């Protein structure tokens, strides 16, 4: 069942990307006279994991930035960079016999958006994405490192030791992935800024255990 769903999602991502290119071509060829303009966005939120990966890594957080173009009042495409930070489950740490660890995943994706009420104050839209995903898991152990610091209270420099994480192992896997979800914009007065909220399902073919998650993002768009 999971394999069939993953196959269906990959096909849907391909169809979404193809449809976006076709719609873009029709827009350019038709010389649409609707509202055009560049757009920028930035946001952050939580990154809950689903599927097998949720038993290996802990839920995390993410930040995202991007920019693109409003080709018509209803069709926008952006190029987005997203960084996700996760923890590593105690089960995995025990299996690897290491004291601690962390994980992160970053992606660069092309994200077409189909807007339903662009000229209104509340603008729901459907959003997808296709691009490159890279997941890294690091195993660490605490160590003491010597540092030379300045104490502003006493006005002196001195040597001391601080605890840091030493990486003792790393696993990196990458692959193509995609996303699909729903969102909405809310206009912030006449400033041209908009508050947005997005919830998307992401699938990335990152090795034997793919990455599946449903990030929820809150941010500002211009």
CATH number at residue 117: 2.40.160.20
11 within a domain of the structure (yes/no):
yes
pLDDT for residue 5 = 41
- Residue 36: pLDDT band by 50, 70, 90 thresholds? low
* Mean pLDDT within 29-43: 68
Q: With 0-12 CB in 10 A as exposed, 13-18 as middle and 19+ as buried, what is 104?
A: middle
Q: 105 near 133, Cβ under 8 Å?
A: yes
Q: Are 127 and 109 in contact (CB under 8 A)?
A: no
**Domain housing 171:** 2-30+47-221
215/197 Cα distance (integer angstroms): 11
In angstroms, the CA 51 to CA 201 distance is 12
Within a domain: 41: no
Band the pLDDT of 164: cuts 50, 70, 90.
Answer: confident
- pLDDT of 115 > 50? The answer is yes
Q: Is the pLDDT of residue 86 over 50?
A: yes
Mean pLDDT of 89-101: 90
38 part of a folded domain: no
Tokens of 26: 């029709």
In a domain, 142, yes or no: yes
Q: Is 16 left (phi over 0), alpha (psi -120 to 50) or beta?
A: alpha
At residue 122, the pLDDT reads 94
Flag whether 42 is in a domain: no
In a domain, 35, yes or no: no
**Proportion of the chain above pLDDT 70, given as a percent:** 84
Residue 175 gets which letter from DSSP? E
At 185-195, the pLDDT tens digits run: 999 988 889 99
40 in a domain, yes or no? no
pLDDT of 32 over the 50 cut: no
- Quote the Cα angle for 65-52-7, to 5°: 75
CB atoms within 10 A of CB 102: 18
Q: How confident is the model at residue 146 (pLDDT cuts 50, 70, 90)?
A: confident
pTM of the shown model: 0.77
95: pLDDT strictly greater than 70: yes
Number of domains observed in the structure of the chain: 1
Domain membership of residue 97 (yes or no) is: yes
Q: Provide the mean pLDDT of the chain.
A: 85
């Amino acid at each position: 069942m999971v394999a069939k769903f993953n196959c269906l999602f990959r096909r849907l991502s391909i169809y979404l990307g193809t449809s976006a290119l076709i719609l873009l071509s029709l827009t350019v060829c038709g010389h649409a006279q609707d509202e055009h303009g560049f757009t920028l966005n930035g946001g952050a939120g939580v990154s809950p994991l689903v599927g097998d990966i949720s038993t290996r890594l802990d839920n995390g957080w993410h930040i995202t930035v991007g920019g693109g173009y409003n080709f018509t009042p209803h069709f926008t495409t952006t190029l987005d960079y997203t960084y996700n930070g996760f923890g590593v489950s105690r089960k995995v740490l025990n299996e690897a016999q290491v004291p601690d660890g962390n994980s992160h995943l970053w992606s660069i994706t092309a994200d077409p958006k189909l807007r339903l009420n662009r000229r209104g104050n509340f603008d729901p839209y459907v959003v997808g994405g296709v691009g490159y995903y890279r997941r890294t898991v690091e195993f660490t152990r605490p160590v003491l490192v010597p540092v030379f610091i300045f104490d502003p209270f006493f006005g002196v420099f001195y040597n001391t030791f601080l605890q840091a994480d030493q990486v003792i192992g790393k696993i990196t896997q990458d692959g193509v992935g995609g996303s699909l979800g729903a969102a909405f914009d809310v206009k912030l007065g006449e400033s041209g800024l908009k508050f947005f909220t997005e919830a998307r399902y992401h699938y990335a073919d990152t090795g034997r255990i793919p990455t599946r998650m449903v990030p929820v993002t809150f941010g500002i768009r211009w």
